[in-house]
Amino acid sequence: MGRVFFLLLVREARLMFRRPGELANPLVFFAIVISLFPLAVGPETQLLRTLSPGLVWVAALLAVLLSLDGLFRSDFEDGSLEQWVVSPHPLGVLVLAKVLAHWLFSGLPLVLLSPVLGLMLGFPAERIPVLLASLLIGTPILSLLGAVGAALTVGLKRGGILLTLLILPLYIPVLILGSGVLQAALQGLPTLGYLLWMGSMLMLAITLTPLAIAAGIKISVGE
Amino acid sequence: MTEVFLQARGLTCERDWRVLFSGLELQLEYGQMLQVSGPNGSGKTSLLRLLAGLMQPTAGEILYLGIPLGRQRHELARHSLWIGHAAGIKGLLTPEENLAWLTALQNSASDEAIAEALQAVGLKGFEDVPCHTLSAGQQRRVGLARLYLPEAPALWILDEPFTALDKKAVAQLEQHLAGHCERGGMVIFTTHHELQHRPASFCELELGQ
């Protein structure tokens, strides 16, 4: 089972690197949204710094959301999902590998880019580790939750809007906690509590969402 | 051997409020070849998807070695191979990578076995090109190469396996399917094409009457 998990990761990595344009999409979106804000609101350091927690998180959330619509689409169209469903391996394990690969190539680069964008918005340099930690824990939750919606809507011709409506309510707690950590960091308050809360949400998502994603895929393939 | 491998009882399939077939009875024994035929839209693909466990029937049940499929999915998955209209071939991967992944999903095969299977379907020399540069018939062959692996499962469920293949490849595949049945394997498939090589155990199921 571990072998299939690893092989699926390798397969996804190959597919990603043969289509590098898609790799860059969420990253470019994230960078553009954040760099447009100082231009639109004006270069007042204090204002930008106050806004920065919310800005970084909203931009990251939307970037992940945008990249999710196509998560299972090509696998659905070329019949790969059918092969996953009829394979003797548990579908939950396969989808977990798929989402992990998706996060490694779209979520993780976003996390790595965030310090630069954070500094640009005037986020204090000594608090950058908190920014990194909040996104590092938060973006996998976004990917996992979003994959549930992507699995359910993959069979629909225009699933984009429906996907957004389905998963945005689930994203809100993550958004509140994620930007809450950064607000606390800005005011010099302890942040560990928030991060632990997010960590427990991540654990919950890793254990439960693969089952929901697998069920969603079975429904979509069975239609 | 006359043990019943797969059995369908009172199978009914409904799609978009339209009944495709109802009360369908079906029995498959070791060594049997079953051709599902009928006009377009008569539910051939749906029947195959039901038997492969991809869809749930509206009514009736499917028994695998006498036990309902719902409790046996895992076992059937080990012993059956499904190739649908879209065979799960990724355009960006090479035939070799595609085949290696598809076999890893079932029961993995060695690199030599994969190379031999690709040679058997006439794709020698194309191992390293991305599949999207291949023709439709060649892409079809990549999917069908799974049938030429030594550890191929017993039951093959194939939806229109002859589509896009040239005459020679069709004849070769027909012979391969018949050979599989003679070795005790089973094949269920749909096609609109008249079979030239039929094993002794050939039978036909006509839908849409």
- Put simply, the answer to whether B87 touches A3 (Cβ < 8 Å) is no
Question: Comparing B209 with A124, which gets the higher pLDDT?
Answer: A124
A34-39 CB contacts, 8 Å cutoff, 24+ apart: A34/A59, A34/A117, A34/A120, A34/A121, A35/A117, A35/A120, A37/A121, A38/A120, A38/A121
Cβ–Cβ below 8 Å for B54 and A77: no
Averaged pLDDT for residues B94-107: 88
For chain B, the domains span 1-79+154-209, 92-152
- What letter would DSSP give residue A156? S
Q: Which residues of B touch A83 (CB under 8 A)?
A: 82, 88, 102, 105
Query: How much is the pLDDT for B2?
Result: 56
Is B82 in contact with A78 (Cβ distance < 8 A)? no
Angle at A73 between CA A15 and CA B18, to 5 degrees: 145
Residue of A nearest to B77 (CA): A88
Closest CA to A124 of A179, A55, A50, A37: A50
The confidence score (pLDDT) of residue A11 equals 92
Task: For A66-96, write each residue's pLDDT tens digit.
Answer: 888 889 988 999 999 999 999 889 999 999 9
Q: Where are the alpha helices (DSSP H) in A42-107?
A: 45-68, 73-77, 80-86, 91-102
Q: Which helix (H) or strand (E) holds A132?
A: helix A128-153
Comparing alpha-carbon positions, the chain B residue that sits nearest to A88 is B77
Which pLDDT score, from 0 to 100, does residue A44 have?
A: 86
Q: Is the pLDDT of residue A111 over 70?
A: yes
Start-to-end CA distance of chain A, whole Å, equals 28
pLDDT band at A130 (very low <50, low <70, confident <90, very high): very high
Q: Is the pLDDT of residue B32 over 60?
A: yes
Residues of chain B neighbouring A86 (CB-CB closer than 8 A): 52-54, 77, 80, 82
The interface predicted TM-score of the complex, written ipTM, equals 0.90
Q: How confident is the model at residue B87 (pLDDT cuts 50, 70, 90)?
A: confident
pLDDT in tens, B146-188: 999 888 888 999 999 998 889 999 999 999 999 999 988 999 9
Query: Nearest-CA distance from B200 to chain A in Å?
Result: 29
Q: Does A221 touch chain B (CB under 8 A)?
A: yes
Nearest residue of A to residue B54, measured between CA atoms: A222
Buried b (16+ CB within 10 A) or exposed e, B67-91: eebeebeeebbebbbbbbebbbbbb
Chain B residues within an 8 Å CB radius of A15: 90, 92-93
Residue B121 has pLDDT above 80, yes or no: yes
| Cβ–Cβ contact A6 with B under 8 A | no
Do A198 and A174 meet the contact criterion of CB atoms below 8 Å apart? yes
Tell me the CATH architecture of domain B1-79+154-209: 3-Layer(aba) Sandwich (3.40)
Q: Is the pLDDT of residue A117 over 70?
A: yes
Interchain CB distance below 8 Å, B88 and A18: no
Q: Is the pLDDT of residue A138 over 70?
A: yes
Report the relative pairing of strands B18-29 and B33-37 from DSSP bridges: unpaired
- In terms of C-beta distances under 8 Å and separation of at least 24 residues, what long-range contacts does B57-60 make, across chains too? B57/B11, B57/B12, B57/B13, B58/B12, B58/B13, B58/B14, B59/B10, B59/B11, B59/B12, B59/B22, B60/B8, B60/B9, B60/B10, B60/B11, B60/B12, B60/B23, B60/B24
> Which chain A residue has its CA at the smallest distance from B52's CA?
A86
Q: Which of A149-158, A196-205, B110-119 has the highest mean pLDDT?
A: A196-205
Q: Angle CA(B63)–CA(B69)–CA(B74) in degrees, nearest 5?
A: 130
Locate the chain B residue with the closest alpha carbon to A217.
B54
pLDDT given for residue B1 in this prediction: 45
- Per-residue confidence (pLDDT) for residue B197, from 0 to 100: 81
Alpha carbons B194 and B153: distance in angstroms, whole number: 25
Interface touch B86/A14, C-beta < 8 Å: no
Q: Is the pLDDT of residue B72 over 90?
A: no
Partner B contacted by A7 (CB < 8 A): yes
Q: Which residues of A touch B97 (CB under 8 A)?
A: 11, 14
Over range B141-147, report the average pLDDT: 91
pLDDT at A184: 94
Q: What is the pTM of this model?
A: 0.90
Q: Which chain B residues have a beta carbon less than 8 Å from that of A78?
A: 86-91
Mutate to test the interface with A, among B92, B96, B158, B159 (most CBs of A within 10 A): B92
In chain A, the residue whose alpha carbon lies closest to the alpha carbon of B48 is: A222
